[in-house]
Amino acid sequence: MRRLDKGFVVWFTGLPSSGKSTVANGVAEKLRSMGYRVEVLDGDWVRKTINPDAGFTREQRRIHLLRVAWIARLLARNGVVVLCSFVSPYRDVRAEIKKIIEEENIPFVEVYVKCSLKECIRRDVKGLYKKALRGEIKHMTGIDDPYEPPEKPEVTVDTEHDSVEVNVFKVLNKLKELKLVK
């Protein structure tokens, strides 16, 4: 097991059903095989376990994501590579998250998981877009709430056109380029 004095945080952001968790889990698998201690914090899992009372209004999402940022910071401070997979639709909230992480000199890498709304709706594994389009769900990102793509992410992966393997490679390559992993 490779021991890092300080870990780092990789934050995967994109529309629901864009493939954030799939890419994050692929990166986690590769990093673990390289001997790194890795935790994946996934939006669905965190909402189900740690933060089940989290709502979907802009302010509720903000509070939810800032809680996740503090958890990620604590883990990274203790040498863990933390991969966070959250829609995190607002640029200003992602900037707050980055500030929380970097206040402790922990590297923060933003990964934009790019995929068209049309393709995300086609994938819709949980049926959320269908419900939102019928008006059964409010505050659905991409339908009645906006998604603000990152302006300068460290990495952009295109899950609509590239394979999971290609996208995992892109993220790992950037982590090597940043000298966060060997």
Which residues carry out catalysis?
Answer: 88
Contact 116, 18 (CB under 8 A): no
CA 20, 157, 167, 173: dihedral to nearest 10 degrees? Answer: -120
Please give the single-letter amino acid code of residue 167.
N
Q: How far apart are CA 162 and CA 157, in angstroms?
A: 8
Adjacent-strand bridge partners of 66: none
According to DSSP H, which parts of the chain are helical?
20-33, 43-49, 58-77, 91-102, 117-123, 128-133, 164-177
Tokens of 66: 């800032």
Tokens of 136: 């059964």
Contacts of 98 (CB under 8 A, 6+ apart): 11, 108, 110
What is the SS3 assignment for 2? strand
